[in-house]
Amino acid sequence: MDGDTKTMTFLQELQDEPATLDDILISCRATLKYAIKTAHPRYFNQLSTGLDMVGLAADWLTSTANTNMFTYEVAPVFVLLEYVSLKKMREIIGWQDGRGDGIFSPGGAISNMYAMLLARFKMFPEVKEKGMSSVPRLVAFTSEHSHFSIKKGAAALGIGTESVICIKVDESGKMIPADLERRIVEAKQKGFVPFFVSATAGTTVYGAFDPLIAISDVCKKYNVWMHVDGAWGGSLLMSRRHRWKLDGVDRANSVTWNPHKMMSVPLQCSALLVREEGLMQNCNQMHACYLFQQDKHYDLSYDTGDKALQCGRHVDIFKLWLMWRAKGTIGFEAQIDKCLELSEYLYNKIKDREGYEMVFDGKPQHTNVCFWYLPPGIRYMEDKEERKKHLHKVAPVIKARMMEYGTTMVSYQPQGDKVNFFRMVISNPAATFEDIDFLIEEIERLGQDL
């Protein structure tokens, strides 16, 4: 059998008997061969792209150490590195002396859910023992363009998706604070209790930054927990040129920030930062006596496991910490600035180019550039509805062709009443101006006959 025929055995049942070492190596080669090349500078499909060599080395070391974050006893170094890194991140957010709390969790959706859990516990600590039947009807607020994890979290926590009120956004995708206030007042009039506002710093599709200062004023006025979902945009805090987009983030009660996105830390690396110290512990602790013995011979505050819903917790910190050491804050800043520069280059290149329409006006706030490509055949269609119907089918076909040729990958989606459009994002510092040029040429090559 040659390599490719062997590959076909991939999906056979797992066997009772061991395979040979040769078979194992063939499996590894085939796995890499058929894997999507997420480190390729022309892979623009997700918010997490690229492959940092120091981050990779750190992940390999992490695998070798093969331990668990729940106690200091089994992960003394990693627990301390998590401590210093979270403190540094809180300083960058702007909380005094980096005070507060935090944890690395398995992804932004879980970080957001943890934030919602904390907000509920802060307002109604009895909910931990007595459940939702002991509290009034709670409502959460987030923008129409926010990430779906807010609704997933509300469904899981027994709050229900109908209690997540979607606040209107302006044309560029930013939450409208006046609509937030209106909906909070409305909810209170109905007897509901507003407990949680999730503002987004860097929305998934448009890359919009909600106006945090105005939102924090509303949250303060009505005494509602303010969360900032900066899974995608939080990393801009590392850039002196771009951090103004998150002005007001220091007023938040909690912040999600995923270094595995814009900072190119290998997957996964997501942090939840919390302003109030001790709350996470009180909210989640169950005092399991087989793990968190109270008569240990070291400072028990380093046993972080009871802060989370998870028991065992993967070591996600070393990748981030070692990359930070290797690059310094200025290294992260440089790569973030570069990605934003590339997206501005793309925007300038296509905004007036024939065959392109921007989904919304104005320069990109993050690296997201949202646009339609109109093949010549539909460019001058007069029937608006007919044109829309055709346009909706363009991006999926171009994307499918990109994947068949294996040249590049970029995401598309509809949003609201807008038919399928491309969403370009750049988070790989290995991308160049030439890669952006290539993308445009490739879209035109693959789409001109549609």
Instruction: Give the residue with the Cβ less far from its own copies, 66 or 189.
Output: 66
Tell me the longest C-alpha to C-alpha distance in the chain.
78
- Of 169 and 214, CB closest to its own copies: 169
Instruction: Tell the smallest beta-carbon distance from residue 438 to its own copies (Å).
Output: 20
Query: How near is the Cβ of 225 to its own copies at its closest, in Å?
Result: 16
Q: Note whether 324 and 68 are within 8 A (CB).
A: no
User: Is residue 55 within 8 Å of residue 322, measured between CB atoms?
Assistant: yes
Minimum Å gap between C-beta 222 and its own copies is 21
Nearer to its own copies, 126 or 441 (CB): 126
Q: Which is nearer to its own copies, 75 or 336 (CB)?
A: 75
In one-letter notation, the amino acid at residue 343 is: S
Closest CB to its own copies among 63 and 189?
63
- Name the residue nearer to its own copies (CB basis): 3 or 221: 3
Of residues 219, 214, 217, 254, the one with CA closest to residue 234: 254
Phi, psi of 358 (to 5 degrees): -80, 145
In the complex with its own copies, which residue's Cβ is closer, 218 or 402? 402
Q: Which is nearer to its own copies, 61 or 185 (CB)?
A: 61
Whole-angstrom distance, CA of residue 435 vs CA of residue 314: 35
**Least distance from C-beta 324 to its own copies, angstroms?**
5
* Strand intervals (E) in 225-312: 225-230, 254-257, 270-274
Alpha helix stretches (DSSP H) within 223-316 = 279-284
Q: What is the DSSP secondary-structure string of 57-108?
A: HHHHHHHHH---SS-TTT-HHHHHHHHHHHHHHHHHHT-GGG-SEEEEESSH
Radius of gyration of the chain (CA): 24
Complete edge-to-edge strand list for the sheet that includes strand 254-257: 101-105, 270-274, 254-257, 225-230, 193-200, 138-143, 164-167
Q: CB 73 → its own copies: shortest distance, Å?
A: 7
Residue 68: other Cβ atoms inside 10 A: 16
Q: How far is the CB of 426 from its own copies (least distance, A)?
A: 16
Q: Return the half-sphere exposure (C-beta side, CA atoms, 13 A cut-off) of residue 369.
A: 26
- Residue 139: HSE in the Cβ half-sphere, 13 Å Cα cutoff: 20
Q: State the minimum distance, in angstroms, from the CB of residue 117 to its own copies.
A: 6
Closest CB to its own copies among 29 and 220? 29
If one counts every other C-beta atom within 10 angstroms of the C-beta of residue 363, the result is: 12
CB of 68 to its own copies, least distance (A): 6
Residue 178 CB, nearest distance to its own copies (Å)?
Answer: 27
